[in-house]
Structure 1
Amino acid sequence: MTQSNAPKTEPQPSDIRPPLERSFSRYVKQPFNEFVANQTTGAIILLASTFVALWLANSDYASVYRQLEKVTFGLFVDDFRLEMDLHDWVNDGLMVLFFFTLGLEVKREFIAGELSSIKNSAAVILAAIGGMVSPALIYYAINFGGDGSTGWGVPMATDTAFALGAMALLGSKVNPSLKVFLVALAIVDDIGAVLVIALFYTDQIDWNALSIAAGFFAGLLALNRLGIRGPFWYVVLALGLWYYILQSGVHATIAGVLAALAIPARPKVHPSHLAHSMKSKAAAIYQHLSDPQQSSEQQPKEVLSDEQKDLALEEIQRQAQLTRTPLRIWENMLNTPVSLLIVPIFAFLNAGTEITPQALDDMLHAPIAWGIVFGLLVGKPIGIFSLTWLSVKTGMGEINSSLNFKEIFGLSLLAGMGFTMSMFIALLSFDGSQQQLLDAKLGIMGATLIAGVLGYLWLRFVTPYRGESA
């Protein structure tokens, strides 16, 4: 072990905050931050938003709830008008940020994650393909020749927040490698869903608007190649890309994925440079604060007037920023608001469904609902498990050595939780029929609930993880 150049006397930790601030931080701020960072929090808020929407849609406030999504507002500058109701602003606007963070995750995984090598990614990619094709085929077989056949894309997607939330509830009883496999699978699954939306759920294309959007996308790629990392021009060009894709007829959320692909994934300087610089700067700060003439318990006044310390910290902060990648910065900044705010808002405005005995009876006789239920509960496990097994047995791919196929089957059950993306595709599929959309929503919610329970019970009691000794 190398010897440190720091003085031998250890610094005494000191918290110079007032007692009230320390108490607030300990009993309010810290528990709140832990709650926000918890992996189950997003699933809990999403579930709560869904239940509140269902309660409102079936209460005396149903009319208020229905009118809420029709509130219209927009941007008006001279002859320019961009006006939509709240429902469209959320689905075509806010959800672009959801797809943007999805695109960032996709890019990161293909550059440095589970999908960065052919051998590691083959099993995941094949599993995801099986988990998309099998549900779509089952749905289409049930709805063949019917009005609902266009909804074959609905049971293809997995809701990552719900699936990871169910895994998080298992704690140490779930293999950590299984979570990694699920995240990678869900990313490939989401890529498939994005392609399906772009290719099959676009009614009419305005090629002039699409060509202008292509110009904005080319501008974003040029920023990347020129080494521009500041957010301003990326935001400006991304807004232009979003607007013209919205006008083109292609679903506007595709703009989020395209913009994410243009975000730089390289830092300006290597982290080793920061490590060397921080070592010298930290030593200088330590020596300065350890001067016998300096108090070890500096008060705010002395800390504020310590210009030498501030200059050193500013330099450390500047150099640390140079070693961070814009991709990671955007991802870390948006993950929490997207999972805890944007997705729950989407669920709140879209999950509200009037559940009456007649609606349930209609659902039980609706091929759309049964196609979704069987697609998610049967198609997902069959597709994911069978192609994972096939890829490993044929040597085309490999899974972590700590995983077994019983755990993979439990994962494939959880993958049947298709809430957010399934709901999104259902809105595109059945936009012209409230009854079909109602059947689809009930099928999605019912299948997601059952899949979550089955997957949890399987991983909890059939294949509980017992660590390295298992």
Structure 2
Amino acid sequence: MTDTTVRSTGRLRGVLDRIAEARRGDSSESLAAVFLLIATLLALLWANSPWGWTYEAFWHTHISFTVGGTGIDLDLQHWVNDGLMALFFFVIGLEVKRELAIGELRDRSQAMVPLTAAIAGLALPAVLFLLLNPSGPEASAWGVVISTDTAFLLGALAVIGPGKAERLRIFLLTLAVADDVGALAVIALVYTDELHWIPLVVAILGLAAVWQLRRLRVWRGGGYLVVSLITWVALHESGVHATLAGVLIALLLPVYPPKRREVEWAAELTKRFRQSPNPEYARTARLGLDRAVSVNERLMRLYQPYTAFIIVPLFALANAGVALTGETLLAAATSPLTWGIVLGLVVGKFLGITGSTALLRRKLPPGLTMSQVAGGAALSGIGFTISLFIVDLALTDDEALADQARIGVLVASVLAALLGAVVFKVAPAPEGPSMELLRPVDPRRDHVRGPVDAPLTIVEYADFECPFCGKATGSMRQVREHFGDRLRYVFRHFPLDEYHPDARQAAEFAEAAAEQGRFWEAHDHLFAHADALDRDGLDAHAAALGLDVERLEEDLRDGDTANRVADDDIDARTSDLPGTPTFFLGVTGQTPTRLEGPHDAATLIAMLERMATAASPEAPRS
């Protein structure tokens, strides 16, 4: 590969990293929650101002689109709720599909605890709500209490949650995705009043067309857009809520990590444009870059900002405007409907999620505590967006009950945020960086050199591009030679992305080599060639190691290798490790503790000898 091609490939990797960052929402979650909060306050101020009558008048203004004698006539509120919110649910569907295919939900064993918590957090709130509203029109609003507002949840977590709570954030994200799936299923199955079969058949044919476009490997969004619009109209006319079109279409779209040959082709097109800048080469280079990324990733990247900063706040503006008069507040204060929503969201979510997680606490990942889960469970009572959405579906014919339900949602959201703040406040704060190894050594998971039951243990967190780690491999060799079968050496990943741009992909390469039983060969080879860890270098290393290149690329693309590296990385950052290499030393029956100070072979040997002697004074020295 030429330098230009390498740089172009690097640019594409940067684009993909930004997509991943957008999916995590690291820098935008709090801002999106602020936009949503501002829109809610504006709606309440508008509805309760001297011009409050204009709120209802404006949002009930009708707009129709007609072709011939057929068309759709909706008021502005329902164009937002049924039309624009379809895009919101489309983005939710994209995220669900991505998590199922290559994300947190791919490993069902790791997702078991948050999935169980999500189910309990769906069921218990509904049960508590129905205890207060067992019959009548109010009972139909039980779906209001089942969902969590992901934007508010993550925004509140960023503001009032504990520091270094990435495990909690992943737990809550996984829970929220499962929660969304449950809420969408309830909307589809419960809040569909009547079906019109001919439009429904057209909608099904539209979904089949999306599936066929996927089979034909259509990667540009235009074809999907036309079919999606037809499907949305057909589903709207069928009686099924039209927003579900967004979810169903998203679940059909392909998602995959970039394929190497498409990355190479995109780099070649970029090279041609650089050598001869012209509109045609610019167009083909742009299309080549787009094609290298799955439709799912591109559309999520495209639409997430619109849904987070425009559509969801606009939805709040159109639906949160309740006239808080003495009459409506008195009616809400004495309404089983209002209190059922508060009870379900605030108490039901908290008890359901915390209680079910407590039963499975042994399966929680390292660094995630029950006090953190309890705080996150409290924040999960912020139902807001989908709760208000279901209010509109469940109580369409009774505006007074709808207002009581909206007040319940608003009150519950405030109380849930306050409860979360209290739980996090009273939770025991960590005393400082722990010096003990966070995740116990597990031979089924960890890469271990030496007997797995050896009495002495060294765990190293390292980075293949770190020059100090490379030098430490020589020290490790001397230490292993000194102790022989008395020592097991464990290697874990801690790629320092901000300093070593190729370290993470080298770590993922090593994990993919491990799938072929060649981790330690790859480990030694990568440290010996730490100055050549770019894509070309890794290709050369794969050939030198005799790896099955096709299988290697498939393992790199399926998401498991990236998740495995990320797991070690999160452990390291949760433990507040100072950098690489970092060593933990231990003996049988004791948790390995972090080594501070020099890590040359003589120091490591002396420390382990002292630990062995202290643990078993009668044991002979080697």
| TM band (smaller chain) | 0.7 to 0.9
The residue aligned with 1:40 is 30
Q: Note the 1:15-414 alignment, pairs <5 A.
A: 37-170=27-160, 173-266=163-256, 270-271=259-260, 274=263, 278=267, 307=276, 317-393=286-362, 398-414=363-379
Secondary structure class of the residue paired with 1:173: coil
Looking at structure 1, the residues matched to 222 and 289 of structure 2 have their Cα atoms a distance apart, in angstroms, of 20
Equivalent in 431, 436, 459 of residue 396 of structure 2: 431
1:203 and 1:52 mapped to 2: Cα distance? 32
How far apart, in 1, do the equivalents of 2:283 and 2:227 lie? 31
Q: Give 1:96 deviation, angstroms.
A: 0.3
Which stretches in structure 2 are left out of the alignment for 5+ residues? Answer: 5-24, 433-573, 578-622
Question: How many angstroms apart in 2 are the aligned matches of 1:455 and 1:410?
Answer: 5
CA distance in 1, matches of 2:301, 2:356: 33
The one-letter code sitting in structure 2 at the alignment partner of 1:132 is L
Distance 1:319 1:146, change over 3 A: closer
- CA pair 84-284 structure 1, distance change in 2 beyond 3 A: closer
Residue 468 of structure 1 aligns with which residue? 575
1:380-418 Cα shifts (integer Å, max 9, x gaps)? 01111122222344xxxx332110111111110000000
Following superposition, the deviation at residue 274 of structure 1 comes to 2.6
Contact 2:290 2:298 in 1 (8 A): no
Shift of 1:125: 1.1
Amino acid at match of 1:383: G
RMSD of equivalent CA atoms: 2.7
1:36, CA displacement in angstroms? 11
Q: Distance in 1 between matches of 2:163 and 2:278?
A: 47
Query: Matches of 1:442 and 1:6 in 2, distance apart?
Result: 61
Q: Label 1:463 to 1:68 Cα distance change in 2 as closer, same or farther (>3 A).
A: farther
Percent identical pairs in the alignment equals 33
* Aligned partners of 1:174 and 1:459 also within 8 Å: no
Indicate conservation of the 8 Å contact 2:122/2:182, yes or no: yes
Q: Secondary structure of 1:238's partner?
A: helix
Say if 1:272 and 1:407 are closer, same or farther in 2 by CA, change over 3 A.
Answer: farther
Query: Over residues 260-319 of structure 1, what are the superposed CA-to-partner deviations in whole Å (9 max), with x where a residue is unaligned?
Result: 11222146x61476369749977996xxxxxxxxxxxxxxxxxxxx73699987775454
Distance in 1, Cα, partners of 2:405 & 2:273: 64
Q: Does residue 445 of structure 1 match 2:435?
A: no
Tell me the SS of whatever aligns to 1:40.
helix
Q: Which is higher, the Rg of structure 1 or of structure 2?
A: 2
* Structure 2: distance between partners of 1:71 and 1:311: 46
**In structure 2, do the counterparts of structure 1 residues 281 and 342 end up closer, same or farther at CA, with 3 Å as the change threshold?**
closer
- The reply on whether 1:455 has 2:420 as its aligned counterpart is yes
Query: Hey, what's the Cα distance between the residues in 1 that align with 2:273 and 2:322?
Result: 63
Following the alignment from structure 2 to structure 1, what is the Cα–Cα distance between the partners of residues 418 and 69?
53
* Distance of aligned partners of 1:108 and 1:6 in 2 relative to their CA distance in 1, 3 Å threshold: closer
How far is 1:177 from its partner? 1.5
Q: 2: CA distance between counterparts of 1:463 and 1:222?
A: 54
What is the CA distance between 1:182 and its match in structure 2?
1.0
Bigger mean CA offset, 437-446 vs 454-463: 454-463
Query: Post-superposition shift, 1:77?
Result: 2.2
- Secondary structure of 1:61's partner? coil
Which runs of no fewer than 5 residues in structure 1 stay unpaired? 8-34, 286-305
What is the CA–CA distance in structure 1 between the aligned matches of 2:382 and 2:299, rounded to whole Å?
Answer: 27
Distance 2:317 2:355 in 1: 35
The whole-number CA distance in structure 1 between the counterparts of 2:104 and 2:44 is 38
Higher RCO (CA < 8 A, seq sep 6+): 1
The one-letter code matched in structure 2 to 1:409 is A
Question: How much has 1:175 moved relative to structure 2?
Answer: 0.3
